[in-house]
């Protein structure tokens, strides 16, 4: 195990470790273990985590501005009210994590079953994110370009998708009560599981002929 003030490799990291002053610039933790650790409220600005294990870790109310999470595994991690402004989460698995009222941006991340209620995602980048069974009620995706996002079975009640463009996304069997889709481009979305009685939610949205045919088929009609 190699330890260094600014760089740590394959170490077990504790709260006391990260509270120690670091005079050599932002820390980089590589292949470290933080499982079950409580790092709530700590200022970890610009820290980098690479291939770290973070199962059930707690970063509640921590300052993680500019932080980088790369290929980390943190099932059931908690980031409640954490400040992840300008942070980038890439290639990570935070399934069943808690991100309530956190601020962040997401790329190539698995968040199956995660709770993102009131998370600050305005202006965030979304690409290749797995959000199936996640909780995102009332989230605004207005004017967002969503690429390869899996919202299947997610709680999307009262979300705002107005003017959004969905590319290779899935809304299959998602809870969409109260959502707004005016002028949204849904031609690249999987709308499977949407029943015709719910089609009014898509008033003003752009859908493809194939999608329209799938909805009308529920009435026994065929679009040619």
- Extents of the domains making up the chain: 1-132, 136-143+152-224
The fold for domain 1-132 equals: Pectate Lyase C-like (2.160.20)
Name the token pair of 190.
């999987």
Q: Are 73 and 93 in contact (CB under 8 A)?
A: yes
Q: What is the mean pLDDT of the chain?
A: 88
What local confidence, expressed as pLDDT, does residue 113 receive?
95
| pLDDT tens-digit map of 167-192 | 999 999 999 999 999 999 999 999 88
Three-state SS at 8 = strand
- Among candidates 4, 66, 15, 53, which has minimal Cα distance to 37? 15
- Among candidates 31, 74, 67, which has minimal Cα distance to 52? 31
Query: How far is residue 210 from each of residues 39, 91, 152, measured CA to CA in Å?
Result: 49, 33, 19
CA gyration radius, the chain: 20
Q: Are 155 and 137 in contact (CB under 8 A)?
A: yes
What local confidence, expressed as pLDDT, does residue 27 receive?
92
Q: Are 187 and 206 in contact (CB under 8 A)?
A: yes
- H-helix or E-strand spanning residue 106: strand 106-107
What local confidence, expressed as pLDDT, does residue 1 receive?
37
Q: Are 199 and 221 in contact (CB under 8 A)?
A: no
Kindly provide the b/e burial profile for residues 48-79, where b requires at least 16 CB atoms within 10 angstroms of the residue's own CB: bbeebbbebbbbbebbbbbbbbbebbbbbbbb
Other beta carbons within 10 angstroms of residue 108's beta carbon come to: 16
Confidence label for 223 from pLDDT (cuts 50, 70 and 90): low
Confidence label for 78 from pLDDT (cuts 50, 70 and 90): very high
- Mean pLDDT, to the nearest integer, of 136-156? 93
Q: Is the whole-model pTM more than 0.85?
A: no
CATH number of 136-143+152-224: 3.40.50.1100, 3.10.50.40, 2.160.20.80, 2.40.50.140? 2.160.20.80
Confidence label for 50 from pLDDT (cuts 50, 70 and 90): very high
| pLDDT tens-digit map of 91-111 | 999 999 998 877 777 788 899
- H-helix or E-strand spanning residue 214: helix 209-216
Three-state SS at 197 = helix
């Amino acid at each position: 195990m190699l330890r260094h003030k600014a760089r740590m490799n394959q170490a077990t990291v504790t709260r006391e470790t990260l509270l120690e002053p670091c005079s050599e610039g932002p820390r980089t933790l590589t292949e470290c273990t933080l499982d079950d650790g409580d790092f709530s409220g700590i200022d970890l600005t610009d820290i980098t985590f690479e291939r770290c294990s973070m199962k059930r870790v707690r970063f509640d109310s921590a300052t993680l501005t500019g932080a980088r999470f790369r290929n980390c595994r943190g099932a059931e991690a908690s980031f409640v009210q954490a400040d992840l402004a300008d942070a980038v989460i890439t290639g990570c698995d935070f399934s069943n994590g808690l991100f309530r009222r956190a601020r962040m941006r997401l790329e190539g991340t698995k968040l199956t079953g995660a709770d993102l209620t009131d998370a600050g995602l305005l202006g965030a980048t979304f690409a290749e994110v797995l959000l199936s069974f996640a909780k995102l009620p009332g989230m605004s995706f207005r004017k967002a370009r969503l690429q390869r996002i899996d919202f299947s079975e997610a709680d999307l009640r009262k979300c705002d998708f107005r003017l959004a463009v969905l590319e290779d996304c899935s809304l299959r069997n998602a809870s969409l009560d109260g959502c707004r889709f005016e002028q949204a481009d849904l031609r690249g979305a999987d709308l499977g599981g949407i029943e015709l009685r719910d089609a009014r939610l898509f008033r003003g949205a752009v859908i493809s002929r194939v999608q329209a045919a799938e909805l009308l088929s529920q009435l026994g009609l065929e679009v040619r």
